[in-house]
A and B are shown apart, each in its own frame.
Chain A
Amino acid sequence: MTLAPPLPASGAAAVRRPRRLRAVWLLGGLLVLVGLMALSVAVGSRDVGLDDILAALGGSSDTLDRAAVTKRIPRTFLAVLVGAALGLAGAVMQGVTRNPLADPGILGVNMGASLAVITGIAWFGLTAPASFVWAAIAGAALSAVFVYAVGSLGRGGATPLKLALAGTATSAAFASFITAVVLPRNDIAGGVRSWQIGGVGGASMDTITLVLPFLAVGLLVCLASARGLNSLALGDDVAAGLGERVALTRGAAAVGAVLLCGAATAVAGPIGFVGLVVPHLCRLLVGVDHRWLLPFSAVTGAALLTAADVLGRVVARPSEIDVGIITALVGAPFFIHVVRRQKVRAL
């Protein structure tokens, strides 16, 4: 430090350089999302001409074609919201657990939310969608705590693979339990099954306004924890040395993620793998700074789920494939790729 002459300008330039590129990526992501939303309104299992699409957007639903398009609008918004929630929740969970395998599906959080909803339907007479949301959030929170506790048992604490194993095992157990509840009950089986695979097809503006407050709070809590997650990423000791209250930061971010997962699952069922794939992809593009990674994960998650939903409507015309199946087809090989990389090290 005594040898080199002071060159503050070069240091400052080196600090500022990467930021512009990240802003470009974020803007590009938003543009892609808007394009996909337009596509989602225009494309479906029924072919509709452009003039009918425009008429439907203007509020007309006189013809069958226009009515079909009108139904695509809430569906598009729901796909965007649920995708953003899952992408963001995945990024936050990976940050909170410092675990590259963390994902609302893999950690069993979404399945916990489903189990709570189905238990509520089967035994507690839940029918109102509003009560689904509360049940789903409670289920998501309980399973998150349970999986983290199981994954932390034994030597070395909550390592990536132990957490993934605990989550997958819990998910499998919950799934069988759900089957056991639903199977003998014909009255609820049909509706529950399509909800359980994960779909946004049944969306209405009512369901959207129902979950919007929960998603908004979850989003704010998650985005506010970005700087704290940046500190946690350096290890608990360094984070504490940087003045972070480690347990509080981790807890708050986890609450935000659970709100997002619970609300998303309540309206769209347990959609897997979005929360896993999206943050990894985003890290490649904008790096590991959570202040950029979190908003970018939300935008990319929304784009991915919208694209998956459009794809599901097109590939099996005239019927549709639920978006949860499409994300699983894309996400499962990706999960294997992440696990098989030479080092599954803590983030």
Chain B
Amino acid sequence: MTADHTLTVHDLELGYGERTVIDSLDLVLPPGRVTAIVGANACGKSTLLRSMSRLLRPRTGQVLLDGKQVHRLPAKELARTLGLLPQAPTAPEGITVSDLVGRGRNPHQGLLSRWSTEDDAAVAAALEATDTVELADRPVDELSGGQRQRVWIAMALAQQTDVLLLDEPTTYLDVSHQVEVLDLLTDLNRNRGTTIVMVLHDLNLAARYADHLVALTGGRLHAAGDPHQVLTEETVRAVFGLDCSVITDPVSGRPLMLPIGRHHMAVTRS
């Protein structure tokens, strides 16, 4: 089991150039749980994730990992605790799966230290966990979208961090691969206690897989908490400007959102 780390965001303001993307945001991400960040396009979800992994400096406010500012921690030290998988990462042409996964060991290696048996073990375990052992010698280019995403997650696992941030890990995947990836992340959370924070587009998958749901709108926090409290008709209207009906998902018991378009009102309202 991994140690619990608390990621906190305090009075955070983020932006690019003139544009403010995140404004006076306060958040506490529960340790050892799965958090999903949801919101409309351009609401600042990815920007927030980038800042939490120190890719973007806050204009004001702080991102704290166990009370320490992530932007002040040494880069490799942070990377041993907190990993990041950006949206749709690209692998260099011709790289093999085991080579790619092995690069996740970077923060554990010094300038002169050699590849160790510990590195071997971490890579092997990451391949096992993501069910990609069979793919180890294959070039990443040749894999399907779902396999490729599993390999990238394996790279993040080889990094052996207690906190893992993922920006839309299910983008470009069909529904079965989306479920496969989210199941894998749930395994990781349950078996190793890894704190998972991910940006997700699909509200229903977010409500099903997350213990903690964060809804952003216009760079501000709209609601955060248990999916049952956050995924409501009111939230969806405020965050997405969409009318909907929320029922209980018969499979998971979590809330399930059914959008109401202009053409189906009679059916849903009857």
Contact = CB atoms under 8 A, between A and B. Distances in A.
B33 to A, nearest CB: 18
A58 interface: no
B88 to A, nearest CB: 10
Interface residues of B, number: 50
Interface stretch (B50-58, B196-204, B233-241): B50-58
B123 interface: yes
Interface stretch (B1-9, B97-105, B255-263): B97-105
B222 to A, nearest CB: 26
A289 B92 CA distance: 10
Contact of A1 (B79, B92, B131): B131
A241 B133 contact: no
A238 B84 contact: yes
B109 interface: yes
B84 A347 contact: no
A233 B53 contact: no
Given A12-B121, A240-B53, A288 B94 contact: yes
A1 B104 CA distance: 19
Interface string B93-126: 1111011101110110101000000001101110
A14 B125 CA distance: 11
Contact of A237 (B50, B76, B98, B123): B50
B128 A7 contact: yes
A8 B104 contact: no
B187 A1 contact: yes
Contact of A242 (B91, B104, B137): B104
A6 interface: yes
Interface in A317-347: 345-347
A10 B133 contact: yes
B85 A241 contact: yes
Given A1-B188, A234-B89, A14 B136 contact: yes
A233 B85 CA distance: 15
Given A240-B55, A287-B95, A235 B86 contact: yes
B136 A237 contact: no
Interface residues of A, number: 38
Contacts of A244: 75, 106
A241 B75 CA distance: 8
A287 B159 CA distance: 22
Contacts of A2: 187, 191
B130 interface: yes
Interface stretch (A32-40, A114-122, A208-216, A224-232): A224-232
A117 B268 CA distance: 79
Nearest to B73: A243
A104 to B, nearest CB: 21
A40 to B, nearest CB: 32
Contacts of B80: 243
A185 interface: no
A227 B77 CA distance: 17
Interface stretch (A15-23, A175-183, A269-277): A15-23
Interface string A75-103: 00000000000000000000000100000
A11 interface: yes
Given A14-B137, A235-B86, A235-B89, A242 B159 contact: yes
A4 interface: yes
Interface in B66-89: 75-80, 83-86, 89
Contact of B84 (A98, A230, A241, A345): A241
A234 B102 CA distance: 12
B90 A15 contact: no
Nearest to A347: B92
Contact of A227 (B89, B109, B184): B109
B206 interface: no
B244 interface: no
A216 B51 CA distance: 40
A283 interface: yes
A227 B106 contact: yes
B103 A231 contact: yes
Nearest to B130: A1
B99 A1 contact: no
A4 B131 contact: yes
A245 interface: yes
A93 to B, nearest CB: 15
Given A17-B137, A287-B95, A287-B99, A241 B121 contact: no
B127 interface: yes
A286 to B, nearest CB: 11
Contacts of A238: 84-86, 89
Given A18-B98, A288-B99, A11 B93 contact: no
Contacts of B129: 1
A159 to B, nearest CB: 13
B169 to A, nearest CB: 13
23 contacts: A1-B130, A1-B187, A4-B131, A10-B133, A11-B125, A15-B102, A15-B124, A16-B120, A18-B98, A227-B111, A233-B92, A234-B100, A240-B75, A242-B106, A242-B159, A243-B75, A243-B76, A243-B77, A283-B94, A287-B94, A288-B94, A288-B95, A289-B99
For the complex of A and B, the 4 pairs showing the least CB-CB separation, nearest first, are A243-B79, A11-B124, A241-B84, A14-B136
Interface of A: 1-4, 6-8, 10-12, 14-18, 98, 224, 227, 230-231, 233-235, 237-238, 240-245, 283, 287-289, 345-347
